[in-house]
Amino acid sequence: MSDIKVYVLEPSGEKNAVEAPTDMGLSLMEVLKASDYPIAATCGGMALCATCRVEVISDHELLPPSDDEGYMLDSLPVVSDTSRLSCQIRLNPDLDGLVVKLAPID
Ligand code: FES
């Protein structure tokens, strides 16, 4: 059993579960897009467009941002300590129960 559940906190306050496999090397962005969340991901997951950014709500220990992700986050007008690029979050069993909020679409 290698599927995990991640949760998307909707603006309404509702949490929706998204099932995600961890044995395919998918990123959180790919899974959210496949679940029809409105993520443009115009750079295709290269940490260049920031349209995939999320706020991490749960207290999961994520790997620190790579240099590329860090530069991109630093260049955004509004970020917080919990902002991440979902294309740079590789799904693994430790992320079961992760809760994220999608950044508002600009
Ligand atoms: S998809 Fe472009 S930064 Fe994540």
- Whole-angstrom CA distances from 60 to 40, 41, 63, 96 are 25, 23, 10, 9
Q: Does residue 43 have its Cβ closer than 6 Å to ligand 1?
A: yes
102-15-78 Cα angle (round to 5):
25
Is the pLDDT at 97 greater than 70, yes or no? yes
pTM: 0.94
Question: What ranges do the domains of the chain cover?
Answer: 3-102
Q: Are residues 53 and 76 in contact, defined by beta-carbon separation less than 8 angstroms?
A: yes
For the residues 62-69, what does the mean pLDDT come to? 95
Q: 93 alpha carbon to ligand 1 midpoint, in Å?
A: 22
Please give the number of the atom of ligand 1 that sits closest to the Cα of 41. 1
Fold of 3-102: Ubiquitin-like (UB roll) (3.10.20)
Check pocket membership of 85 for ligand 1, CB cut-off 6 A: yes
